[in-house]
Amino acid sequence: MNEWLGLWTGRDEGDPRIFPPEIVVEIKALACELPGEWDLPFSRLSREDIAREAVRRGIVASISGATVWRWLSADAIKPWSYRSWIFPRDPRFAERASLVLDLYQGVWEDEPLQPDDYVICADEKTSIQARRRIAPGTATGPDRHRRVEFEYERCGALAYLAAWDVQRAKLFGQCESTTGIEPFHRLVDLVMQQEPYRSAQRVFWITDNGSSHRGKTSIERLADWYPNAIQVHTPVHASWLNQIEIYFSIVQRKALTPNDFADLADLEHRLLAFQRHYENIAEPFKWNFTREDLQRVLERLTSDNATQQIAA
């Protein structure tokens, strides 16, 4: 029996005389375990689950979930919360990511970019629905949120293809009924047929590995369309390295939420009008994450993964 079991007296549970530091440390460690390690049919742990397990293991005689929450919140430990992520699986992740990060720093193959070199980030935002609400909404007011009718009619969907000039904060975009090689070709034409890109020495196109612009075939196809265009792929499952995704997140928050459009024409008008508005106020994104930062992250992930395999 744990020596601290006899210390429960009914006084304030947070009193350090009742729960000395050793107990706090044990319960914090308990909170960092996964439910599967307890043989419990849970997907995640609540503070009450942790309190019950602490009693079951004999760490304490009695403890409340509120006390557990107070201790965990002091160290920002929240086992009831989670985030999704994808572990880097591209065998050339560091190499490919470093090329992109170097371009953001104005470097290509260890040489500074020239004044007539440009960096473009491009991608598609797919299946954007136009939802027509069955009743009109109401504006915000004193002590009242804006109200948007829950029920809606589906009025179709479209794709928004956009390109972002990293150094000049210039936007190019168009709406299409679907994605594919030809819609991507039209986006490339929209950019490359304008100055300064048409006569630039090099225009680097940063894209992900979507079907519209995947692999070596896409690199060769882009160079065939425009000999001064160089395609640079982000690693697989690393779209966060593409700056156009930052713009897409702004579009989602500012132009598409809440989703209330009469039809696809209304949706297209909103997207392109927002694009013009944003370009008038945009500045280059302050991208501070470098290849050195990436190396530290990958080293930490490798170390964490090795530690988990040893523990298993």
For residues 129 and 85, the model is more confident at: 129
Angle between helices 244-254 and 264-281 (to 10 degrees): 120
Beta bridge partners of 173: 162
Mean predicted confidence (pLDDT) in 251-258: 97
- Flag whether the pTM goes above 0.85: no
> What is the Cβ-side half-sphere exposure of residue 46, based on CA atoms within 13 angstroms?
8
pLDDT for residue 154: 96
Residues with Cβ within 8 Å of residue 32, at least 6 apart in sequence: 77, 79
Instruction: Give CA–CA dist 175/270, Å, rounded.
Output: 11
Query: pLDDT per residue over 93-124, tens digit each?
Result: 999 999 999 999 999 999 999 999 999 999 99
Between vectors from CA 188 to CA 89 and to CA 232, what angle results, nearest 5°? 30
Query: pLDDT per residue over 54-65, tens digit each?
Result: 999 999 999 999
Q: Could you tell me the residue ranges of all domains in the chain?
A: 3-74, 93-291
Mean predicted confidence (pLDDT) in 269-288: 97
Query: pLDDT per residue over 28-55, tens digit each?
Result: 999 999 988 888 888 889 999 999 999 9
Specify the pairing of strand 117-133 against strand 202-207: parallel
For residues 301 and 238, the model is more confident at: 238
Copy the structure tokens of residue 252.
């989602």
The CATH superfamily assigned to 93-291 is Ribonuclease H-like superfamily/Ribonuclease H (3.30.420.10)
Residues in the chain: 312
